Amino acid sequence: MSFKVLKPGVQATLQAAPRSGTRHLGVPASGPADELSMALANRLVGNPSSACALELSFGLVSLEADADCAIAFTGAPVEIELAGDKVPMHRTLYIHGGETVSVGAAEAGARLYMAVSGGFLADDFLGSASTCLPAMVGGLKGRALRAGDTLSTGESEPSADVETPANMHQAFTHAFALRCVDGPDAELISGWESGQDYAATRRADRTGIEIAGSWPPLSNAGLKPSAPVFPGAVQLTPSGNAFILLPDSQTTGGYPHVLQVTRADRHLLGQIRPGDRVHFLKRTPEEAADDLRRKTAYFRDWLPDLVL
Amino acid sequence: MPEYRLFFLGDDAVAVQPNNRALRHPLARALRGSGEWIDTVPGKEVVAVHFDPRALRPTEVMRKLEDWLSSFSAEAFEPGKAVDLHLDCSAANAPDLQALADQNGLTPQEMLERVTRSDLVVDMLGFTPGFAYVEGVNPALKAERLAVPRQRVAAGSVGLVSGQLGLYGLSGPGGWPIIGRLTEALFDPARAEPFLLQEGQVVRLHLVDV
């Protein structure tokens, strides 16, 4: 079956498991900016956690189905209308051929996910279907949706009607606490104390988010020789602000890499919107590994194959 | 005697810094070939491995890498054959050429000849798909990053900063002064081999008549 895109939204892309083993070619991992929300959406339609789903920035998408299937929405809270009726997020929904599903605008959180039973079909590039916008590969022709596009779906079994357990819903507010460890250039901010108030600026997309606030001035604002960087890296830029890397980010960089948002909390980065408040909490790498194990264990019964 | 410094790049990546930077590439090839790491990425001074801290704790990764390095020996590697690239230095494609030439007390033509006569080698790919760091530019040529990066540099643009060229595989933001634009596509996902260049390859630059 397939969906016709009536309204494409701000930036909606197809995302699946991240690309691996390609960063030495300059090709980023891509994949969902919020892995947890995408996994929860896929779970509601009987898919594996990283089946190809639609990532919507701020919502505002309308799709028309050409046949019956199961769909589900998770992530930033929005109003959803299915065939003219309001329907909940975090629940299996059944859409019939000819019906339209419309997503409103998110007021907290930045991204939501639509999963379809059988997953969306997408272009493969170097082993992953995830859209990489800078390189224009993966997903649907390597780009965000446009009105008139057709999204095809894979074969599927009928899906059971389920709801995300209440204790697995994320709270969506305008404040984020991000656990982080030292980056390789942490000595440049040795006097820095975590716990201060920072805010996301308007510079935010799938490559990264700019974070303003009182960062220690760098005595030597120069660049270092280009070094490998990964999503979650917090770099200090010549503007005096920090830039946190997201899934479509560059693979090497020369700005001082002073902190790294830990893997356990990286999924939260996908939900930070301009103006949101951000706090950083310091951890050691060993504590961060424990945090990740604890968080994965918390979701294990519901999402046994979750990879954060 | 090779020595290595190991340090964390966060909670799920470790950098290995050899005392001899020429070891980065054999090291990266061997680490990648081991199949143990999610990604193995060289930088200008280090090689980073990306790991899943649920499978291996950070301290275990450090120990494992130390053990592995104690028995590592660099294997000879035959780089891909030399590649000829063609550089269009017409004004629209070389917005910073005149200023760089002035800074070095040369004419644009003299400046370009010193670049193209250098022994150029691809040091590594990275940054964005197809971007290549090419080393070996005559070190006497002075060139610094732009004070304000450009919002958009055309795909194929060639930047010059202190002894190296940056070849832009994609259009996008860029901070290197631009001295020309290649006629060849460095990255084309539709090609059977999307990446034109490989690390270690010798690059011969030819000026095209415009």
Looking at A114, A147, A168, the residue that finishes a domain is A168
Instruction: Write out chain B residues lying below 8 Å of A226, CB-based.
Output: 43-44, 126-127, 133
- Whether A34 contacts A267, CB under 8 Å: yes
Q: What is the DSSP string of B152-197?
A: EE-TTEEEEETTEEEE-SSSEEE-SPEEEEESS-SB-TTSSS-BS-
- Count CB-CB contacts under 10 A for residue A125: 23
Query: Per the CB < 8 Å rule, is B39 touching A24?
Result: yes
Distance CA A127, CA A138 (A): 9
A296 shares contact with chain B (CB less than 8 Å): yes
Residue A155 lies in a domain: yes
Residue A308 lies in a domain: no
Element housing B8 (H / E) = strand B4-8
Q: Which of B144, B131, B198 is nearest to B170 (CA)?
A: B131
Looking at A143, A168, A193, the residue that finishes a domain is A168
Locate the chain A residue with the closest alpha carbon to B124.
A24
Distance CA B183, CA B177 (A): 18
- CA separation, residue A30 to residues A180, A245, A255, B12, B26 (Å): 21, 11, 21, 17, 27
Q: Read off the DSSP letter of residue B194.
A: -
Strand pairing class (A277-282; A175-182):
parallel
pLDDT tens for chain A, 308 residues long, are: 999 999 999 999 999 999 999 999 999 999 999 999 999 999 999 999 999 999 999 999 999 999 999 999 999 999 999 999 999 999 999 999 999 999 999 999 999 999 999 999 999 999 999 999 999 999 999 999 999 999 999 998 888 999 999 999 999 999 999 999 999 999 999 888 888 899 999 999 999 999 999 998 876 656 788 999 999 999 998 888 999 999 999 999 989 999 999 999 999 999 999 999 999 999 999 999 999 999 999 999 999 999 99
B94 shares contact with chain A (CB less than 8 Å): no
Domain check: are A38 and A99 in the same one? Answer: yes
The residue count of chain B comes to 210
Distance CA A243, CA A261 (A): 11
A251 shares contact with chain B (CB less than 8 Å): yes
- Nearest Cβ partner for A250 among B48, B52, B128: B128
Query: Per the CB < 8 Å rule, is B57 touching A135?
Result: no
Residue ranges and CATH numbers for the domains of chain B are 4-70 (3.30.1360.40), 83-207 (2.40.100.10)
Q: What pLDDT was estimated at residue B49?
A: 98
| Crossing angle of helices B58-70 and A285-299, rounded to 10° | 120
CA A54-A58-A64 angle, to 5 degrees, is: 50
Domain check: are A89 and A107 in the same one? Answer: yes
- Whether A67 contacts A98, CB under 8 Å: no
Query: Per the CB < 8 Å rule, is A184 touching B8?
Result: yes
Residue A89 lies in a domain: yes
B172 shares contact with chain A (CB less than 8 Å): yes
pTM: 0.95
Domain check: are A93 and A240 in the same one? Answer: no
Distance CA A38, CA A17 (A): 10
Report how many domains make up chain A. 2
Domain check: are A36 and A149 in the same one? Answer: yes
Distance CA B81, CA B100 (A): 31
B163 shares contact with chain A (CB less than 8 Å): no
Domain check: are A202 and A154 in the same one? Answer: no
- Nearest Cβ partner for A285 among B48, B58, B172: B58
Looking at A168, A188, A219, the residue that finishes a domain is A168
Locate the chain A residue with the closest alpha carbon to B197.
A25
Domain check: are A101 and A207 in the same one? Answer: no
Read off the tokens for A2: 């397939």
Domain check: are A159 and A181 in the same one? Answer: no
Residue A196 lies in a domain: yes
- Count CB-CB contacts under 10 A for residue B122: 23
- Count CB-CB contacts under 10 A for residue A308: 21
Query: Per the CB < 8 Å rule, is B125 touching A228?
Result: no
Domain check: are A6 and A155 in the same one? Answer: yes
Element housing A291 (H / E) = helix A285-299
Domain check: are A143 and A6 in the same one? Answer: yes
Beta strands in A170-232 (DSSP E): 175-182, 198-205, 208-212, 227-228
Residue A307 lies in a domain: no
Residue B8 bridge partners (DSSP): B14
pLDDT tens for chain B, 210 residues long, are: 899 999 999 999 999 999 999 999 999 999 999 999 999 999 999 999 999 999 999 999 999 999 999 999 988 888 889 999 999 999 999 999 999 999 999 999 999 999 999 999 999 999 999 999 999 999 999 999 888 889 899 999 999 998 999 999 999 988 899 999 999 999 999 999 999 999 999 999 999 986
Distance from CA of residue B92 to its chain's centroid?
Answer: 25
Query: Per the CB < 8 Å rule, is B127 touching A250?
Result: yes
Q: What pLDDT was estimated at residue A203?
A: 94
Instruction: Write out chain A residues lying below 8 Å of B169, CB-based.
Output: 26
Domain check: are A253 and A148 in the same one? Answer: no
Residue A305 lies in a domain: no
Domain check: are A248 and A201 in the same one? Answer: yes
Domain check: are A90 and A115 in the same one? Answer: yes
- CATH number for position A192: 2.40.100.10
- Whether A90 contacts A43, CB under 8 Å: no
Q: Read off the DSSP letter of residue A37.
A: H
Distance CA A120, CA A122 (A): 6
pLDDT tens sequence across A158-172:
889 999 999 999 999
Query: Per the CB < 8 Å rule, is B41 touching A252?
Result: yes
Residue A53 lies in a domain: yes
Q: What pLDDT was estimated at residue A221?
A: 56
A129 shares contact with chain B (CB less than 8 Å): no
Q: Which of B7, B29, B39 to mutate to test the interface with A (most CBs of A within 10 A)?
A: B39
- Nearest Cβ partner for B13 among A134, A230, A296: A230
| β-sheet with A80-82: strand ranges across | A85-87, A80-82, A100-103, A61-65, A2-8, A150-152
Q: Domain residues for A180?
A: 175-299
Longest CA–CA separation in chain B, Å: 58
- Whether A9 contacts A58, CB under 8 Å: yes
pLDDT tens sequence across A7-64:
999 999 999 999 999 999 999 999 999 999 999 999 999 999 999 999 999 999 999 9
Q: What pLDDT was estimated at residue A218?
A: 79
Residue A106 lies in a domain: yes
Q: How many CB pairs under 8 A join A and B?
A: 144
Query: Per the CB < 8 Å rule, is A263 touching B12?
Result: yes
Kindly give, in sequence order, each residue whose CB lies less than 8 Å from that of residue A69, ignoring residues fewer than 6 positions away: A1, A94, A95, A116, A117, A118, A153, A156
